[in-house]
Structure 1
């Protein structure tokens, strides 16, 4: 039954699992072939030399990670930098919206601050 849940793993999904060399890792899916072999770009691993590399695993050895990860303001700003470096405008805009929500939720609310703006402080960013 666990294997059928893993059938929903697609390119770009974050997964944790074990490689064919029995390394525990976390990373994102680069590709899935028709035979269930998955290539994963490793971001964390118990074998430090594998970080940043692509490892192979099977669907049966992977678990899709939850997409409900809470990020704080620093995490979101770091991800926004990555979106800028990769020139991914849609991702940047999504992250910026999430940052505004985090800032809004962390600010103490009084009756006076309803007109508060969460702009970039006059800084404009252009992504080609």
Structure 2
């Protein structure tokens, strides 16, 4: 069963684990070797020198971190700004839908106006123009 758990780890996934030098770390997977070795870019570690560096470890000593699902208004609004800067309309629309769902759950009713974000006269009108 351990094998199946670690098979889910893919390049780009965020993981927590221990390196071959016994350093605890959090980072993202850069590559996975055929022999079960993994190269990880470290963003947090118990060894300060490892932060910002690549470390190698065993796939068996990694735990995949849960994917982040933003559900706070401020997080969603910040990500929407990022989507606009990246000119990623599909991502923006996905985030706008999530924001509407959060507002609906928080208020117990649909957000003011039934129009999608950016098609009304509200504050979002200026934010959705994507060239």
TM-score > 0.5 by shorter chain: yes
Could you list the runs of 4 or more consecutive aligned residues of structure 1 that deviate by over 6 angstroms after TM superposition?
none
Structure 1 residues 117 and 125, CA gap change in structure 2 (3 angstroms): same
TM-score (norm 2): 0.68
Q: Are 1:3 and 1:59, in contact at CA under 8 Å, matched by a contact in 2?
A: no
Q: Could you report, residue by residue, the CA deviation over 1:2-25 in whole angstroms, capped at 9, with x for unpaired residues?
A: 233202211122211112222222
Alignment of 1:70-85 (within 5 A): 71-83=71-83
Which residue of structure 2 lines up, in the alignment, with residue 60 of structure 1? 60
Which residue of structure 2 lines up, in the alignment, with residue 124 of structure 1? 128
5+ residue gaps, structure 2: 119-123
Q: Could you report, residue by residue, the CA deviation over 1:18-67 in whole angstroms, capped at 9, with x for unpaired residues?
A: 12222222222222121111122223322344333332211011011223
Which residue of structure 1 lines up, in the alignment, with residue 106 of structure 2? 106
1:59 match: secondary structure: strand
Q: Are 2:70 and 2:76, in contact at CA under 8 Å, matched by a contact in 1?
A: no
Q: If you compute each CA radius of gyration, which structure gives the higher value, 1 or 2? A: 2
1: CA distance, partners of 2:49 / 2:5? 30
5+ residue gaps, structure 1: none
1:45 paired with 2:45, answer yes
Which stretch shifts more, 45-54 or 16-25?
Answer: 45-54
Structure 1 residues 82 and 70, CA gap change in structure 2 (3 angstroms): closer
Number of residues paired by the alignment?
Answer: 124
| C-alpha RMSD of matched pairs (Å) | 3.1
Q: Are 2:38 and 2:56, in contact at CA under 8 Å, matched by a contact in 1?
A: yes
1: CA distance, partners of 2:107 / 2:116? 11
